[in-house]
Amino acid sequence: MTTAATSKPVKSKDLLVIEGLGHVYEGKNRHEAIGKLDFTVPEGAFVSIVGPSGCGKTTMLRCLSGLMKPTRGTVLLEGEPVDGVPRDLALVFQDYSRSLFPWRTVGGNIAFVLPRSMDKTERQARIQEVLDAVGLTGSADKYPWQLSGGMQQRVAIARALAYRPKILLMDEPFASVDAQTRAELEDLMLQVRDQFGMTILFVTHDIDESVYLADQVLVLSKSPSTIVAKLDVDLPRPRDQVATREDPDFVHLRSDIARMIREQSQIRK
C-alpha cells in the first residue's frame, strides 16, 4: 500500500507592505489622523480593516493608494515604493454615484480604464467578462442613472476588475445600500475574489461584514490610529450568509472585535 505524499503549504509572499505609516494634517487645526501603522497584505489574501468612527481609515487608504503622500513611513507594492497611484492597484469608493461617469454607458465606464492600445475585440470581450462576473450581463448599453444603487456599485467593481489590478482597495463600498443588497454584494466579492485570484484590502465600519469576508481582520485604535489587534478568521469556506453568521466561532470573533472598538471609543484623549 502506498501513501500520498504531503507537502507543506506554501506561504504567500507579501504583496503590500506598510511600515511606520503615519499622517498629520497640518494647519490651524492640526490633526494627527494616523499614528503608526505596520502590517502586510499577503498575495491572494482578503484583509478587512475596522475601527472607531474617525480613526483615519479613509486617510490610510488614500496614503496606501498613492492619492496622498503620508507624513512618515513607507508603502511598498511588490517591493516598490508607492509614489503616485500604481498601475497594479485599483480603488473602489463608497460613493459609487460620483465614481461613475453619468454621461458614459456602463460599457463606456468600464472601457475608460482599459489601455487605448487594446484591440476592439479584446476590449469588448473584457467588458463582457467582468459584467458577467458581477451579474450585469446585457447591461453594457445602459447608463448608470438607469440602474439601482447596488447595480451601480457592481459597475464600479466590474470596472476595477477589468483593470486587472494586483490589489483592490475598497473604502466602505457597501455602506450606502440596503441590507439585502449589501449581503448580495458581499457574496459577489467572495465570488470574484476566487474567480480572478484577487488580493483585497477592505475597509468597513460593519464588524459582521469584516469577519464574514476576510481571512484576517485588523482592528484600529482611536485616532491617531495604531493597530490594536490582527485576528485570523478561521471560518469554513465557502461562506454562507446564514450558516457562517450562526457559527459559534463567528459570533465569538465579532464579539471580541466589537468589544475592542467600544473600548477604543471610550478612551479620552
Q: Report phi then psi at 204, rounded to 5.
A: -150, 155
Q: Are 251 and 82 in contact (CB under 8 A)?
A: no
Name the residue ranges covered by the structural domains of the chain.
13-55+67-88+168-269, 97-164
What pLDDT was estimated at residue 93? 85
> 78-112, pLDDT tens digit by residue?
999 998 888 889 999 888 777 899 999 999 999 99
Q: Are 49 and 61 in contact (CB under 8 A)?
A: no
Along the chain (269 residues), what's the average pLDDT of each consecutive run of 10 residues?
A: 39 88 90 95 96 90 93 94 89 83 96 91 95 96 95 94 92 90 95 93 96 97 94 96 97 96 80
Region of 175 please: left (phi>0), alpha (psi -120 to 50) or beta: alpha
What pLDDT was estimated at residue 269? 58
Distance CA(145)–CA(176), nearest Å, equals 16
Q: Distance of CA 131 to CAs 13, 75, 139, 260, Å? A: 30, 32, 8, 39
Distance CA(39)–CA(186), nearest Å, equals 24
17 strand-pairing partners: 40, 76
Q: Are 118 and 125 in contact (CB under 8 A)?
A: no
What is the β-pairing status of strands 167-171 and 89-92? Answer: parallel
What pLDDT was estimated at residue 3? 39
What pLDDT was estimated at residue 11? 53
What pLDDT was estimated at residue 114? 92
Q: Are 165 and 90 in contact (CB under 8 A)?
A: yes
Fold of 13-55+67-88+168-269: Rossmann fold (3.40.50)
163: which 3 cell numbers? 483593470
Burial 30-64 (b: 16+ CB within 10 A, else e): eeebbbebebbbbeebbbbbbbbeebbbbbbbbbb
Q: Please report, as a single letter, which amino acid is at residue 219.
A: V
The sheet carrying 225-232 orders its strands as 80-81, 72-77, 14-25, 31-42, 225-232, 216-220, 46-50, 199-203, 167-171, 89-92
What pLDDT was estimated at residue 221? 94
**Residue holding cell 513611513?**
73
> 101-145, pLDDT tens digit by residue?
999 999 999 999 998 889 999 999 999 999 999 999 999 999 999
